[in-house]
Structure 1
Amino acid sequence: MRIELLPLLGKQLCLTLVTVLASCSADLFSKATRTKADERDLRSSVFDFIIVGGGTAGCVLANRLSAVHDWKVLVLEAGDEENIDYDIPGVPTKDYRPILWNYRTEKNGFSCLSRPGGSCEVRTGKVLGGSSVTNDMKYTRGHKVDYDSWHSTGALESLDWKFGNLIDMFKASEDNGDYDTLVNSFYHARGGEMRVQRFKHVDRYIEVFDAAFAEMGLRTQDINTNIAEAVVNHQFTIWNNTRLSTNSAFLKPVKHRKNLTILTGVTVTKIMINTQEKSVDGVVYEIEKGKERPAYAKRETILTVGAINNVKLLHLSGIGPKADLKKHNITTIVDLPVGLNYQDQVTTGGLSFAINDVAPVSENQVINDFKTWFQNRSGPLASKGIGQISAYIQLYENYNAPDVELSLEGNFVRSDKFMLTNISVNAAEETNLPLSYYNLVNLYPILLRPKSKGKVTLNKRNPKLGRPVIQANLLKESEDLDSMVDSIDIALQLLDTKEMKKAEIKLAPIDLFPCDRLRNRDQWNCIARHYTKAMSNPVGTCRMGGNKTDSVVDFKLRVHGIEGLRIADASVMPTHVRGGIYAPTMMIAEVAARIILKDWKENSGTYNRR
């Protein structure tokens, strides 16, 4: 039976629509809703659910919610569709700026001192699939102690976020392709949308570093089984040696659904809020410069644009700290700590190993390797090179869990006299060729649970169009700096192993100015301060919790004090996890989908309306 959408909106919502539309530059109803064309415009702009952000979480949610045929779902994404080039594992998509939100941290006196502009880059995905298109594809979930700490004593609903209850949500989307890993059936599963497996190609230097870590006492284990230390041959989200983003795994297979609408290249500029009822009516999005359109949600609007962009959108809509909003003459609708509790994992450059016996890479070789990948998904580009392995270290005995990941990344530096010529840290990190070719190995000691926290606020000069202000405060806490240097001391033990000496792998002669005259721990303290590197895994700005004093959403991901608005991505994480945020973000989306289905479904099997 056909259902007319206009009557379902309700009298109050209709009045709100007319008020909001009157102020839009692209006014759809300048002559009220008199014509059939206007009525069609209204119908086509009304949905059951609006998902703001077609990124890592948004694609998962779109798949799950549109599976209910009676629900009309809209996905709004600022970026464009993926290009097939991004599917190649050896291509460093994190360096391709057109598909990135290219943000920078604020300059301060204790980190990123020798980076360009004295600040660190924060790069997150601006493309359908979000950061799942631009990240390193590693499938790491974090540790049990991370999730159990999200539980608040006395908050019954927070029990759903303990690890024992979340493991099924991780497994819901997993399709693990490595049978030796599937032995741990409690932790892994088959049959989900996201294929997870190791690369088949292992080159000589992967074996060298693997054996060197083993000499240091680290066993090869599955990091997703709640262990404290290991050398890990990572699993990646790949299928047939091809990157799997959440777009390609979750969204592309269901694009044919008639109840699913996906708009790319559009930026949501404001959430439409009924201030009397404290409820969300929908959003306003920009389709081109100066031209905006509305979209209305009968049930819910769900934000999944990440820990930085969520803050910008909420602040522009009147949700955030009253003092911060007042600076921009924005009326506060709900006073919440949006933007506080910013956390990002942190590392440092400057620790690089030189490999001497690597032959020069010719242009023809690279072209032929690209042809090989496109023809049969094989060859050097069907891997991540040395980036396939890393080591996890426990520095402290507080928890039986890792504190640091020693992550490896290869780079090819074009210099016939490499060992005789000092190069800068920035040059050593600048990617010149696909990741499969390398004569230099950068080792990054990543603090998985840093103590330092910061905040995100609106741009002071242009709140709507300008980049958000990110006060990351990386390494502000002295404990973080100590942990960084401690982990470097451990990493340097690689040079004493038989395997590294046999392969004649040595420290690369990196130009470490202004730290070159210092020695030992003082030098590494200086290096960490000057060559800090943000991992671009921001979380926490819309943290989950039991009250509106120190959290933005409740344990069902609903924004405190506003009806019809949820947040379902890494920004709700109260603290970081001991791994990347790719798998945890997919898990959060799975939990959100389950909660939404439960909230709107009656016992009879029909669905409620707001």
Structure 2
Amino acid sequence: MTLTNILPTRGGARVPAVGHQHAPISDPGMYLLRILVLISISSRATGDLFSKATKSRSDDLHNSVFDFIIVGGGTAGCVLASRLSAVPEWRVLLLESGDEENIDYDIPGVPTKDYRPILWNYKTERNAFSCISRPSGSCEIKTGKVLGGSTVVNNMKYTRGSKSDYDGWHNSAAAASLDWKFGNLLEFFKASEDNGDYDVLMNSHYHGRGGEMHVQRFKHVDRYMEVFTAAFGEMGLKNLDINANVPEAVVNNQFAIANNTRLSTNNAFLKPIRHRKNLVVKTGATVTKIVISKQEKSVEAVLYEYEKGKERPAYAKREVLLTAGAINNVKILHLSGIGPKAELKKLNITTIHDLPVGLNYQDQVTTGGLAFSINDVAPVSESQIIADFKTWFQSRSGHLASVGIGQVSAFVQLYENSKGPDVEYVLEGNFVRSDKFLLTNISVAVAEEHSLPISYYNLVNVYPVLLRPKSKGKVLLNKRNPKYGRPTIQANLLKENEDIETLVDSIDIALQLLDTKELKKAEIKFAPLDLFPCDRIKNRDQWNCIARHFTKAMSNPIGTCRMGDSKEDSVVDYELRVHGIERLRIVDASVMPTHVRGGIFAPTMMIAEKASRMLIKDWRESKNQFYNGR
């Protein structure tokens, strides 16, 4: 017997389904009673996963039944929780593995991506073509493990990608994919947006006001921002809005900030509505399994762990929404019996539905080893740093109220047949003690490691980021410890020869910066880095070697639950419903078939906005129901 076998009926007949999903349960009391019957019967008969709930009191059981369960309180999860809980009749549960966000993470100049307690610290598997000289021959993949997810640890940059990226998701054989063409997605980008720069906002076709996510440029502009902007200008790039579908630009980027403070999706969408009585948010809660009826292929509940070894169930009357990211989604689905049958069989996991979950893994990629040194920067004293922190906490101003040189980047179209930029030149400042320069060449690791806030810098790391890499990999469960071990990430970065060729081409262009009048006038030079084992190789072969040894993953993983019209090569349909499984959707960057030419922060918010609109449309009880998304 399953939950779906005992759903309430009307006049002796089963409640008809709404589209692909089961109809809502109109009588919560009856629903609870029937869950109790289910638990009693199933625990006596099989002693299955529900058996731990048999001793629960009825009020505890009532508190474990929700209309929607959102698995993952990250970028998409916070948006969904805000939108769905705006319908007062719906009870919403948001489960997040990490903890609450701390105000210290909101300081723009603080490099949160190095703070391990709020990160999923994953590593790629070793191979012979990338990350060779990184520790253990692996690249790190750092995503947020905190309420707000990666919006707490990312660079805050607001970039959407190009029109051609989204239009490329359209499949002419699938009419539903038309909804994912760029022209049909603009309203969902603008739904969240509150643009604070009036020169950008003048282009109302692309931008809007009134959303929860405030985006704008930092007010502070330092000398070297102007130098690098002018240097890219010498190379032919104009200062344009990259979110207005232009192929090339040097950009003083917009960021997700408000009052010089990081604005995560937690701060923007969740904190203002935490008072809603129909919204329950649980942190420190890691979902270990989605419970699915094998007979009806319908989701019934989730199991989540609040202490190691202690699990609780939560029951979904309408849908479970998976928003745990491209890596953790795979782990949860595989443990639940959804994934490639051959892989699940190796781990003795019963396959409920054979789908290509975990395949099509993609991440944007760059390389370390390309850095420029600035000679006339005064040393930073401890007293100055303390004073700057006090200034930020008192007035949200000062040195820590920006990301320094990181405000500038350049998008370049390398090849004529491209439909948008191929590479983004990301600039990242770092302060390296002058004695390290004097004693010896510094290592790539020292050049990248932040010992001070990123707004202090005498060295600029230049990262040419491949925005749409061709190489693809896969994510699998840990063979030794599937439940608690880190997933196996075979990222295959730079496996395709086209990727390494594009990366080396982009380095050639970056080096031309040193020949510009602006950088020469400012006496900015190539930093003395220790590039062993590539130090004795010359020219293009040397940079090929450097790229393979000092590969850097951008921690923007996508694609493992890609959307499409066939279960042979996709996991969800164009309404984000998992093929063959009822009442389960995936709503985050893992559904993206290919990368967009920018970060994944803004596109993930867009996906969540679109999904919330779908859910409200599918589950509203009558045409007369009024819904106000604000």
TM-score where L is the length of structure 2: 0.93
- Cα displacement (A) at 1:395: 1.1
- Cα displacement (A) at 1:396: 1.4
Question: What residue in structure 2 maps to residue 71 of structure 1?
Answer: 90
Equivalent residue letter for 1:578: R
Question: What residue in structure 1 maps to residue 54 of structure 2?
Answer: 29
On the 8 A contact 1:99/1:127 being kept in 2, the answer is yes
| Alpha carbons of structure 1 residues 25 and 7: separation in structure 2 relative to 1, 3 Å | closer
Alignment of 1:351 with 2:374, yes or no, is no
Equivalent residue letter for 1:19: S
The CA deviation string for residues 228-263 of structure 1, in whole angstroms up to 9 with x for no partner, is 110000000000000000000000000000000000
Question: What residue in structure 2 maps to residue 182 of structure 1?
Answer: 201
Question: What residue in structure 2 maps to residue 495 of structure 1?
Answer: 514
- Cα displacement (A) at 1:11: 5.0
Equivalent residue letter for 1:27: K
Equivalent residue letter for 1:54: G
Question: What residue in structure 2 maps to residue 311 of structure 1?
Answer: 330
Equivalent residue letter for 1:583: A
On the 8 A contact 2:39/2:50 being kept in 1, the answer is no
In 1, the alpha carbon distance for the partners of 2:535 and 2:446 equals 17
Equivalent residue letter for 2:138: S
Where 1:401 maps in the other structure, the secondary structure is: coil
- Cα displacement (A) at 1:28: 2.6
Q: How does 1:97-176 map to 2 (within 5 A)?
A: 97-176=116-195
In 1, the alpha carbon distance for the partners of 2:602 and 2:371 equals 28
Question: What residue in structure 2 maps to residue 272 of structure 1?
Answer: 291
In 1, the alpha carbon distance for the partners of 2:622 and 2:182 equals 28
Q: 1:575 aligns with which of 587, 591, 594?
A: 594
Where 2:391 maps in the other structure, the secondary structure is: helix
Q: 2:317 aligns with which of 294, 298, 302?
A: 298
- Cα displacement (A) at 1:22: 4.2
Alignment of 1:483 with 2:516, yes or no, is no
Question: What residue in structure 2 maps to residue 468 of structure 1?
Answer: 487
- Cα displacement (A) at 1:26: 7.7
- Cα displacement (A) at 1:119: 0.5
Q: How does 1:385-400 map to 2 (within 5 A)?
A: 385-400=404-419
In 2, the alpha carbon distance for the partners of 1:516 and 1:543 equals 41
How many residues are matched?
600
| Alpha carbons of structure 1 residues 311 and 4: separation in structure 2 relative to 1, 3 Å | same
RMSD: 1.6
In 2, the alpha carbon distance for the partners of 1:16 and 1:523 equals 64
In 1, the alpha carbon distance for the partners of 2:301 and 2:269 equals 24
In 2, the alpha carbon distance for the partners of 1:334 and 1:564 equals 14
The CA deviation string for residues 31-75 of structure 1, in whole angstroms up to 9 with x for no partner, is xxxxxx721111110000000000000000000000000000000
On the 8 A contact 1:419/1:508 being kept in 2, the answer is no
Q: 2:615 aligns with which of 593, 596, 600?
A: 596
- Cα displacement (A) at 1:7: 1.2
Equivalent residue letter for 1:159: L
In 2, the alpha carbon distance for the partners of 1:127 and 1:373 equals 23
On the 8 A contact 2:216/2:255 being kept in 1, the answer is yes
In 1, the alpha carbon distance for the partners of 2:175 and 2:161 equals 23
On the 8 A contact 2:131/2:137 being kept in 1, the answer is yes
In 1, the alpha carbon distance for the partners of 2:472 and 2:50 equals 39
Equivalent residue letter for 2:187: D
In 1, the alpha carbon distance for the partners of 2:251 and 2:87 equals 39
User: Which segment is superposed worse, 418-427 or 182-191?
Assistant: 418-427
On the 8 A contact 1:24/1:292 being kept in 2, the answer is no
User: Which segment is superposed worse, 236-245 or 14-23?
Assistant: 14-23
Q: 1:196 aligns with which of 215, 237, 246?
A: 215
Question: What residue in structure 1 maps to residue 440 of structure 2?
Answer: 421
In 1, the alpha carbon distance for the partners of 2:139 and 2:180 equals 32
| Alpha carbons of structure 1 residues 58 and 417: separation in structure 2 relative to 1, 3 Å | closer
- Cα displacement (A) at 1:605: 3.1
Question: What residue in structure 1 maps to residue 529 of structure 2?
Answer: 510
Equivalent residue letter for 2:311: E
| Alpha carbons of structure 1 residues 526 and 596: separation in structure 2 relative to 1, 3 Å | same
In 1, the alpha carbon distance for the partners of 2:619 and 2:281 equals 22
On the 8 A contact 2:504/2:540 being kept in 1, the answer is yes
Alignment of 1:5 with 2:5, yes or no, is no
Alignment of 1:15 with 2:38, yes or no, is yes
Where 2:376 maps in the other structure, the secondary structure is: coil
Where 1:517 maps in the other structure, the secondary structure is: coil
Where 2:400 maps in the other structure, the secondary structure is: helix
Equivalent residue letter for 1:355: I
Gaps of 5+ in 2: 1-24
Equivalent residue letter for 1:104: K
Question: What residue in structure 2 maps to residue 33 of structure 1?
Answer: none
Where 1:491 maps in the other structure, the secondary structure is: helix
On the 8 A contact 1:9/1:298 being kept in 2, the answer is no
- Cα displacement (A) at 1:604: 3.0
On the 8 A contact 1:13/1:281 being kept in 2, the answer is no
Question: What residue in structure 1 maps to residue 19 of structure 2?
Answer: none
Where 1:395 maps in the other structure, the secondary structure is: coil
Gaps of 5+ in 1: 31-36
In 2, the alpha carbon distance for the partners of 1:17 and 1:526 equals 63
In 2, the alpha carbon distance for the partners of 1:463 and 1:224 equals 41
Q: 1:62 aligns with which of 70, 81, 103?
A: 81
In 2, the alpha carbon distance for the partners of 1:272 and 1:502 equals 64
In 2, the alpha carbon distance for the partners of 1:14 and 1:521 equals 70
The CA deviation string for residues 273-303 of structure 1, in whole angstroms up to 9 with x for no partner, is 1111110011000010111100000000000
Q: How does 1:361-400 map to 2 (within 5 A)?
A: 361-400=380-419
| Alpha carbons of structure 1 residues 19 and 261: separation in structure 2 relative to 1, 3 Å | same
In 1, the alpha carbon distance for the partners of 2:414 and 2:40 equals 56
In 2, the alpha carbon distance for the partners of 1:243 and 1:279 equals 39
On the 8 A contact 1:16/1:274 being kept in 2, the answer is no
In 2, the alpha carbon distance for the partners of 1:225 and 1:144 equals 9
| Alpha carbons of structure 1 residues 155 and 188: separation in structure 2 relative to 1, 3 Å | same
- Cα displacement (A) at 1:25: 8.8
In 1, the alpha carbon distance for the partners of 2:623 and 2:397 equals 51
- Cα displacement (A) at 1:601: 1.8
- Cα displacement (A) at 1:483: 0.2
Percentage of pairs with the same residue = 74
In 1, the alpha carbon distance for the partners of 2:583 and 2:32 equals 14
On the 8 A contact 2:250/2:410 being kept in 1, the answer is yes
User: Which segment is superposed worse, 598-607 or 454-463?
Assistant: 598-607
In 1, the alpha carbon distance for the partners of 2:557 and 2:173 equals 28
On the 8 A contact 2:436/2:442 being kept in 1, the answer is no
In 2, the alpha carbon distance for the partners of 1:16 and 1:277 equals 18
Question: What residue in structure 2 maps to residue 324 of structure 1?
Answer: 343
TM-score where L is the length of structure 1: 0.96
